[in-house]
Amino acid sequence: MAVDECLLYRYGAAGDTVLRIYGWSRPCITIGYFQGVREEVNLERCEHSRVDVVRRITGGGAVFHDMEVTYSLVAGRFPLDIMASYRSICDMVVLGLGRMGLDASFSPLNDVTINGKKVCGNAQTRKGGALLQHGTILLDVDVKKMFSLLNVPTAKIRDKAIADVKERVAGIGRTFEQTAEALKGGAQDAFGCELDAMSLSREDIAECRRIMAARYSQESWTHRR
């Protein structure tokens, strides 16, 4: 999260576009900016299962990050209309999945679907004149595990909630490496550009550490709502 925020302010705000593709060293839950952490997450079970929980600076819902490819894209130039900007960036995902032979489509406001099932969720924020979009491409989904960590309104509807999600959400059944490569290709196709590999500079890393200390490692941030 800190790296994404650093990229937003240091690169996006300077007019650059950066695509970051990453995974998680261990499963984690992120919650949307407006969500109540105790409403959404079973914190005791997360602690027991060593699943970290952190609040994003982007809106949207709680995400259990496990078997997926995560990306962030920051941009200094983008469509001002929010729906148009989601469409433009999600096209990257759609075209990337197409490179793997998957017939995906953008599903407003912020999803990408295959055969009507969500395979990719996205969330945006705009700060300092720049845009950050987070997105997750599901490789596989363990709905039971997800619902053991996220709260559902009552235990009574847990089975129905699990069935509903199984009906509406799917993994794409590809590897991390295949998907990451395809996503890079999708970015080239969608934006008509070549990609240059980059590493974080010493200054970037220092800024990431500062952001992490000031925000994401603070319980007051994740528990603020």
Partner 1 sequence: MDPDRDGTVVTAHTAKLEKMVRIRLDYSRQSRTIRSIRITGDFFMHPEDAIEGLETGLRGAELERDALRQRISSALAGTRCFGFDAESLAGAILDAGGGAP
- Residue 131 burial (CB count, 10 A): 24
CB 167 within 8 Å of CB 149: no
Cβ within 8 Å of residue 171, ≥6 positions away: 67, 119, 138, 139, 140, 141
Q: Which is nearer to partner 1, 99 or 225 (CB)?
A: 225
CB-nearer residue toward partner 1: 157 or 206: 157
Q: Is 62 in the site for partner 1 (CB under 8 A)?
A: yes
Q: Is 59 in the site for partner 1 (CB under 8 A)?
A: yes
- Asked whether 177 and 3 are in contact (CB, 8 A), the reply is no
Tokens describing residue 222: 């994740």
What span, in angstroms and rounded, lies between the C-alpha atoms of 42 and 149? 5
- Looking at the Cβ atoms of 32 and 186, the one nearer to partner 1 is 32
Q: Do residues 78 and 85 touch, judged by C-beta distance below 8 A? A: yes
Task: Please select the residue that binds partner 1; options are 33, 147, 176, 221, rule is CB under 8 A.
Answer: 33
Residue 9 CB, shortest distance to partner 1, in Å, is 15
3-state secondary structure of 215: helix
Q: C-beta of 218: minimal distance to partner 1 in Å?
A: 17
Q: What are phi and psi of 104, to 5 degrees?
A: -105, 160
155 is a site residue for partner 1 (CB under 8 A): no
- Residues 106-145, one symbol each (x = binds partner 1 by CB under 8 A, - = not), give --xxx------------xxxxx------------------
Q: How many CB atoms within 10 Å of residue 28?
A: 18
User: Of the ranges 8-16, 34-42, 97-105, 134-142, which one interacts with partner 1 (CB under 8 A)?
Assistant: 34-42
Residues binding partner 1 (CB under 8 A): 32-36, 39, 57, 59-62, 82, 108-110, 123-127, 153, 225
